[in-house]
Amino acid sequence: MDLLIKLQKIDRRIIYALVVVVLMLPLIFHPAGHPTLVTPEVHDAFDVIDQVPKDKMVILSSAWGPSTEYENGPQTAALMHHMLLKGIRFGIVSWDPQGAQLTYNIGNNLQTELHKQYGVDWVHFGYKVLIEAALRGIGTNLPKTMETDMNGTRLTDLSKLPVMKGIRDSRDIGAVVEISASGTLEGTMTYMTQPNNLPLLYCPTAVMSVEAYRYLDSRQLKGMLNSAVGAAQYETLIGLSSFTTPASVTTWALSTAHIFIIVLILLGNLGYFASKKAARRQGGEANND
């Protein structure tokens, strides 16, 4: 009984140390196992991207930075991987200054791996200030709103950026993907995708995903990749299920962390009930509320 009562008073430093161990395990062993189950919203997202015509461009609207790199990074990589494999042109606009470099790095790494070329298969519009006028401008006049790419090349310079050939406004955009760690979805929906009737996909962090199901139900969102788990499911669809990827490692780190937290909650409650029982036996009230 004493041991059970002690269970609700574990030193927080021990818990912190155990969190480190639990999170480190998948990072050390690099498991490749991807989820066998793919949820309908991930299937839908895959279908939307897969059916984008070759003469159109997919816009990746990226509003994340280093703090959520392990959730939004795998989502970005999975989508880019699919589009580079399929030969679908895409352009990234980053609403976060640090995120601009991170998304550019992801694209660079993938193009090397898949033998693709910047400016020909994809383009990065760099960091832009997220304001309504910019969101609306993408649909009305993309080259004029974005002006230059990440390296300062004019988007109208087709000799350096042939990927921009024929891309002018919403009629040349096949889909928009909002990869976000903050509340940017409503702005993109209101000012970019709905007025222009563009399909919108959403890649939020896990805590933000619960708010998005209402838009999936109303079909304002055509698909969603829920955190790194959604990215891992997407990778299953594009044939990466047997490879170790950041998404697979992150989902296993999440697995161990979630199980650890549930075990902690159970232990804390065991201790709580044991102490209540002990207090009742002694005829007193439990004083640990």
Partner 1 sequence: MRMYLYNLWSWTIGVRHGWTLAAFIVGGLLLGSLAIWLLMSVPTRYRKPIVIAVTFLGGLVLALEFFIGTPKWHPLTDFLPAYSSVQMVIAAFTLLLGLVNLFVIHGQSISKRSKGWGNSLAFFVAFFAILVAAFVKDYATAKAVSGSAGSVYAIFFLGFLTPLSSTMFSIIAFYIASAAYRAFRIRSMESALMMITASIIMLGLVPAGLYLTAWLPVWLSWLRLENITYWLLSGPNMAVQRAIAFGVAVGALAVGLRIWLSLERGSFFDKQL
Q: Which residues pair with 256 in a beta bridge?
A: none
Q: Taking the complex as a whole, how short is the minimal distance between the CB of residue 86 and partner 1, in angstroms?
A: 26
**Residues 269, 272, 274, 277, CA torsion sign:** negative
Contact 59, 122 (CB under 8 A): no
Helix (H) or strand (E) holding 140: helix 132-140
Please identify which residue in 165, 210, 242, 280 interacts with partner 1, judged by CB under 8 A. 210
CA distance 232 to 253: 13
Residue 10 as a binder of partner 1 (CB under 8 A): the answer is yes
Q: Residue 162 or 260: which CB sits closer to partner 1?
A: 260
Which part of the chain contacts partner 1 (CB under 8 A), choosing from 79-87, 110-118, 172-180, 221-229? 221-229
Contact window for partner 1 (CB under 8 A) among 61-69, 86-94, 113-121, 159-167: 61-69
Q: Is 155 helix (H, G, I), strand (E, B) or coil?
A: coil
254 forms part of the interface with partner 1 (CB under 8 A): yes
> Amino acid letter at 62?
S
264 binding partner 1? (CB under 8 A): yes
Phi-psi domain of 283 (left: phi exceeds 0; alpha: psi -120 through 50; beta: other): left
Residue with tokens 């950041």: 246
User: Given the rule CB under 8 A, which residues bind partner 1?
Assistant: 10, 12, 15-16, 18-19, 23, 33-37, 39, 65-70, 98, 101-102, 129, 131-134, 136-137, 140-141, 144-145, 147-148, 152, 154, 206, 209-211, 213-214, 216-217, 226-227, 229, 232, 251-252, 254-262, 264-265, 267-269, 272, 289
